[in-house]
C-alpha cells in the first residue's frame, strides 16, 4: 500500500469514528478538492445526508470538528457540504520518498495476479502497408496491456493477422494479371500498389470480382495456382511486420493467423446451424440478432466465402482454449463496434461464458480525410517515421552542434519515437487525431519531447550532485510547489489504478505532463544544487523521486527515456 493510500485509509477511519456505526465509508466515497489550497482529499456528505436524513452542511461541519490532527492528517475543515482534509507534508513526504526510493521501477505497481486478462491488438493485414492509421491501435493496445499489468493483472497480449482475406486475393490476382514482381521496388509498397490497382479494376469490371472470389475460395482451401505466390508474398509481409513490431517494442505473447482457423471456423458454423443459432438465408449463413437490436450477423456469403465475423468466432474459442483468460479485450477502432457487438452476442448465445470487452478508439485522420488502402492515399509508417527522425535530428543538431553523429542519431530517435507515441496516447480514445508533426516534436507544451527533457533535467541535477543522503528530512520541503509535488507523486499509484480500471492511457499522459510542469516551477523557484544542508538533501531526494515516477509513467506508455538531450 502506498503512502497516499495509507493516508486515505486513515481518513476513512477518522470518518468512521466521527459518524459512528451508521456509516462505513470506502475509498470510492473520497474525491479530490478542485483547488489544492483546499486540501488533498475531500469527503462529500450527500450520500451520508440522505442516509441519516440530515443536512449535508451540518454533517460536514460536525465531522470536521471531530477530526484531530495526527498521522497523515494535518487538519480537516468543512466547506459547504464537503469535509476537506489537508495532509501533513512531513508525514506524507517522509513516507512517499521512502516508498519510491525502495520500490524504484516497481513504484505504482499493484500486487500481482488478480486475474488473467487477454489483450488483442496489433492486427494488421498481410499484403498491405502498415500506415500511420495503424499506430493508434499498436500504441493503445500496448499501453492497455502495460496498465493492466501494473494494476496487478496477469496480461496476455496477442495479435491476430489477417493473412487470407479478400484483399489478399485481389493483390495476388493483380500480380498474376500484370506479370509484375517487385524487383528492386519495395515489396510491401509493390503489393500496396497491386491492391489499389485491383480495386479500381474490380469496380470497373464485374467479371473481375467473380475471378477474385474464386481465388479467395481456393486460398481458403489452400489449393489452386495461387497458393505458391500466396506463401511467398505472405512471407514478405510477415518479415516486415516482425521488424515493425520489434522497432515499436510491441510485446506479443502469441500471434494467431486467419489461415490457421479456416477448418475450425467451418466446424463452428455447422455447430451453430445444428443448434439453431445460425440459419441459412438466401444461400448465406446468418445469425439473426434483430431481437437484440444488432441486425443480422452474416457469417458465410452466398458464394460460400467465410466472413471475418465467422472467423472471429473460431479465434475466440482458440484463444480461450490456449489461455483460459478471465477476460478478453479487443482493441479495435470504433468503426467495428457493431461487428464486435454481433460477435459477443453470437458467442453468448453459443454458450461462451468469458467476459468480453471492446476497447474502442477513434482513428487518425489526414488533412484530406481518413486514410484508405483501397484509394491508395495512405502515409506509410516508414515514411512517417523517417520524416519525424529527420526533423528530430535537425533540431538536435541545432541544439548540440558539438555532438557527434552517433549521439545525435540516438537522441533524435528517442525524441521522435516519444513524440509519435505520446502524441497519440495523450488523446482520449473517443477523440479523433489529426497528427501535427511539428507540434508533436516541440520541446514545449503537452508533448513527448517536453517530458523527455524534464526527465533529462532531473538526471542532470542528480549527476552533478553526486551521492545523496538516504534518509532526507522531508520537513525541509516546505514551499507550496514542493508540497504539491509530494502530493502528486504520492497519488501516482492511484492514478495508475484508475487509468487501468477505466482503460485510459491518456490519464497517465496528463499526469506526467502536470508533474513536469510542477517540476519546472520547482526548478525555477527552489534551487537544488545551490542550497545547503537539509534543504539540499531533501530537494535532491524530491528530484530523484520525480525522476523515478517520470521513468515509470513513461514506461507504461512505452516511451524510452534518455539522460541527456
Instruction: Read off the pLDDT of residues 404-443 as tens digits, 9 standing for 90 and up.
Output: 999 999 999 999 999 999 999 999 999 999 999 999 999 9
Would you state the pLDDT for residue 67?
A: 96
The residue to which cell 524510452 is assigned: 560
Would you state the pLDDT for residue 246?
A: 98
Rounded mean pLDDT, 79-101: 97
Beta bridge partners of 154: 116
Task: Pinpoint the alpha helices (H) of 162-226.
Answer: 166-178, 187-204, 206-220
pLDDT over 90 for what percent of the chain? 91
Burial label for 72, CB within 10 Å (0-12, 13-18, 19+), is buried
Q: Give CA–CA dist 234/219, Å, rounded.
A: 12
Asked if residue 91 has pLDDT above 80, the reply is: yes
Q: Give CA–CA dist 322/326, Å, rounded.
A: 12
Q: Are 531 and 473 in contact (CB under 8 A)?
A: no
Rounded to 5 degrees, φ, ψ at 483 are: -65, -40
Q: Which pLDDT tens digit goes with each residue over 542-552?
A: 999 999 999 99
What's the pTM?
A: 0.94
Residue 117's nearest CA partner among 501, 523, 481, 521 is 501
Asked if residue 377 has pLDDT above 70, the reply is: no
Q: Which pLDDT tens digit goes with each residue over 533-543?
A: 999 999 999 99
Q: Are 305 and 299 in contact (CB under 8 A)?
A: no
Asked if residue 235 has pLDDT above 90, the reply is: yes
Asked if residue 199 has pLDDT above 80, the reply is: yes
Would you state the pLDDT for residue 367?
A: 55
Q: Which residues contact 451 (CB under 8 A, 6 or more apart)?
A: 418, 422, 512, 513, 516, 550, 554, 559
pLDDT over 70 for what percent of the chain? 97
Residue 132's nearest CA partner among 447, 423, 561 is 423
Domains of the chain as residue ranges with CATH: 3-87 (3.30.1360.70), 124-370 (3.40.50.620), 423-556 (1.10.730.10)
Q: Give CA–CA dist 560/349, Å, rounded.
A: 44
Amino acid at each position: 500500500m502506498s503512502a497516499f493510500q495509507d493516508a486515505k485509509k486513515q481518513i476513512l477511519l477518522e470518518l468512521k469514528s466521527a459518524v459512528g456505526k451508521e456509516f462505513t465509508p470506502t475509498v470510492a466515497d473520497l474525491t479530490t478538492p478542485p483547488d489544492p489550497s483546499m486540501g488533498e482529499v475531500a469527503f462529500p456528505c450527500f450520500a451520508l445526508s440522505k442516509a441519516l436524513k440530515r443536512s449535508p452542511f451540518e454533517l460536514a461541519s460536525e465531522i470536521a470538528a471531530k477530526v484531530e490532527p495526527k498521522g497523515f492528517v494535518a487538519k480537516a475543515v468543512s466547506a459547504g457540504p464537503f469535509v476537506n482534509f489537508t495532509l501533513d507534508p512531513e508525514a506524507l513526504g517522509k513516507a512517499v520518498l521512502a516508498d519510491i526510493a525502495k520500490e524504484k521501477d516497481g513504484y505504482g505497481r499493484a500486487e500481482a495476479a488478480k486475474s488473467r486478462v487477454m489483450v488483442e491488438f496489433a492486427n494488421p493485414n498481410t499484403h498491405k502497408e502498415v500506415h500511420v492509421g495503424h499506430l493508434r491501435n499498436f500504441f493503445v493496445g500496448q499501453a492497455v496491456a502495460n496498465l493492466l499489468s501494473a494494476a496487478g493483472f496477469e496480461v496476455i497480449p496477442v495479435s491476430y493477422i489477417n493473412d487470407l482475406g479478400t484483399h489478399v486475393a485481389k493483390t495476388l490476382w493483380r500480380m498474376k494479371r500484370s506479370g509484375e514482381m517487385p524487383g528492386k521496388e519495395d515489396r510491401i509498397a509493390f503489393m500496396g500498389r497491386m491492391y489499389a490497382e485491383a480495386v479500381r479494376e474490380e469496380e470497373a469490371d464485374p467479371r473481375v470480382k467473380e475471378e477474385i472470389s474464386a481465388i479467395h475460395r481456393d486460398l481458403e482451401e489452400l489449393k489452386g495456382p495461387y497458393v505458391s505466390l500466396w506463401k511467398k508474398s505472405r512471407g514478405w509481409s510477415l518479415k516486415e511486420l516482425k521488424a515493425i513490431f520489434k522497432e515499436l517494442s510491441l510485446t506479443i505473447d502469441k500471434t494467431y493467423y486467419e489461415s490457421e482457423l479456416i477448418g475450425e471456423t467451418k466446424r463452428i458454423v455447422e455447430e451453430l446451424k445444428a443448434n439453431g443459432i445460425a440459419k441459412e438465408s438466401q444461400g448465406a449463413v446468418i445469425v439473426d440478432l434483430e431481437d437484440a437490436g444488432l441486425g443480422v450477423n452474416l457469417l458465410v456469403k452466398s458464394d460460400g466465402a467465410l466472413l471475418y465475423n465467422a472467423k472471429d468466432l473460431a479465434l475466440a474459442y482458440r484463444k480461450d482454449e490456449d489461455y483460459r483468460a478471465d477476460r478478453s479485450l479487443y482493441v479495435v477502432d470504433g468503426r467495428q463496434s457493431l461487428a464486435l457487438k454481433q460477435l459477443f452476442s453470437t458467442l453468448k448465445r453459443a454458450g461462451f461464458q468469458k467476459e468480453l470487452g471492446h476497447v474502442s478508439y477513434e482513428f487518425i485522420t489526414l488533412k484530406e480525410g481518413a486514410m484508405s488502402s483501397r484509394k491508395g492515399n495512405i502515409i506509410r509508417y516508414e515514411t512517417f517515421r523517417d520524416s519525424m527522425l529527420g526533423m528530430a535530428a535537425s533540431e538536435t543538431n541545432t541544439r548540440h552542434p558539438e555532438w557527434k553523429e552517433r549521439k545525435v542519431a540516438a537522441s533524435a530517435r528517442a525524441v521522435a519515437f516519444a513524440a509519435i507515441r505520446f502524441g497519440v496516447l495523450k488523446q482520449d480514445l473517443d477523440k479523433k487525431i489529426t497528427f501535427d508533426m511539428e507540434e508533436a516534436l516541440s520541446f514545449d507544451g503537452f508533448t513527448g519531447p517536453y517530458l523527455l527533457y524534464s526527465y533529462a533535467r532531473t538526471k542532470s541535477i542528480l549527476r552533478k550532485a553526486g551521492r545523496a543522503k538516504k534518509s532526507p528530512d522531508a520537513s525541509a520541503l516546505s514551499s507550496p510547489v514542493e508540497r504539491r509535488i509530494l502530493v502528486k507523486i504520492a497519488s501516482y499509484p492511484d492514478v495508475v489504478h484508475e487509468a487501468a480500471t477505466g482503460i485510459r492511457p491518456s490519464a497517465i499522459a496528463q499526469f506526467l505532463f502536470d508533474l513536469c510542469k510542477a517540476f519546472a516551477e520547482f526548478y525555477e523557484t527552489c534551487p537544488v544544487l545551490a542550497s545547503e544542508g537539509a534543504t539540499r538533501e531533501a530537494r535532491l531526494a524530491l528530484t530523484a523521486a520525480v525522476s523515478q515516477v517520470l521513468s515509470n509513467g513513461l514506461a507504461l506508455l512505452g516511451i524510452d527515456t534518455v539522460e541527456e538531450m
